[in-house]
Structure 1
């Protein structure tokens, strides 16, 4: 995609109106309603990108050649009173060091429970949830590690959501719905098989 296009001609979504975020996305066509396709420049994977999620440059975006990529992106909606945050970390260690990867993930969230294992045709997802309350605001975390069954590629995925202002009446979450949303994101991750 021509990265220098006139932003007035682009979709009126936060992702395409933000210059840096737009540079990461290949097409203004939605892959499915509300989502674009993010195809990593590592050549290792692709995933869905919410149409109103944005990221800034480094340190929120980091890449080391084709073996490592970390992206922190978010969707903040004052009117609807929520903030969704995403953090993905791609590496080429995958299943070979799964216990270590899950340990690092658990430490980053402050989680000390077990992971549920889910299977798709081409990947294995280790998934868990937790919540944390800070200054009266509860943040719900849905996180996991997705490993390819066909290579040593893997992606740590953390999705979290919270109200911006808990005093407003529209501050509520359907946790089952949020779990479904998180798993939809994780199941959308596709690893390439060009090893």
Structure 2
């Protein structure tokens, strides 16, 4: 129960200071990669949303093209994967790191004042490490990081395997109307690239207790599944280039 209090407090401190990728998302069918990356463009010429107007976040934006309503394409700095990214998401430096050519962590989040929902996301990309291919090792890592002892849903597509779990954490120790947290976590393993995987963890909470909150589990899960299902591991030749 203490976990929620710590998580809620740390997230608030930070903010107060689908389907697999289709051809159009991958730049095919005439949608060529932009000659100038968003990070090199004038902010006035970019979409007027946090993902592009925040200097650090737009370094990860692959294109100014809206892939789906409210979502753009994120590309990791190691060019290891792409994923749909919410337009109101912002990069969190305290939860991000880049370690050589084989490991990258990306933290991001958003706060919707209209719904009073605080969203936190974290991705960790692994490449070239044998443990990334070992199912039980990766699941144990995810379990340990999220305090989870249960099983994972497994979903296989042509290019990846997704291991997915979720929890609702209710903290009865605090006098708070919205004393619950929805968490979704797991990892995605590449089928085509050896020793390549991506951990994910997403959390939703109601930020302000004195404001109405429309946090709905089915909507939260749908948002997470949209992002996770969109993950595409980039081809090795692109990594080497």
- TM-score for the superposition, normalised by structure 2: 0.74
The partner residue of 2:112 within 71, 77, 81 is 77
SS at match of 1:3: helix
Alpha-carbon distance between aligned partners in 1 of 2:132 and 2:156, rounded to the nearest angstrom: 13
The alignment of Structure 1 onto Structure 2 pairs a total of residues equal to 193
Tell me what 1:49 maps to. 85
Instruction: Write out per-residue CA displacement over residues 35-62 of structure 1, whole angstroms, 9 at most, x where no aligned residue.
Output: 11111221221111110000133x4321
Q: CA shift at 1:147, angstroms?
A: 0.4
The partner residue of 1:32 within 68, 71, 77 is 68
Tell me what 1:23 maps to. 59
Which structure shows the higher helix fraction? 2
Which structure shows the higher strand fraction? 1
Tell me what 1:147 maps to. 189
Which structure has the larger Rg over C-alpha atoms?
Answer: 2
Tell me what 1:174 maps to. 216
* RMSD (Å) for aligned C-alpha atoms: 1.8
Alpha-carbon distance between aligned partners in 2 of 1:5 and 1:193, rounded to the nearest angstrom: 27
Tell me what 2:29 maps to. none
Q: CA shift at 1:177, angstroms?
A: 2.8
Unaligned runs of at least 5 residues, structure 1:
none
Report if the CA contact (8 A) 2:92-2:106 is conserved.
no
Tell me what 2:100 maps to. 65
Q: CA shift at 1:65, angstroms?
A: 2.9
Q: CA shift at 1:9, angstroms?
A: 2.5
- TM-score for the superposition, normalised by structure 1: 0.90
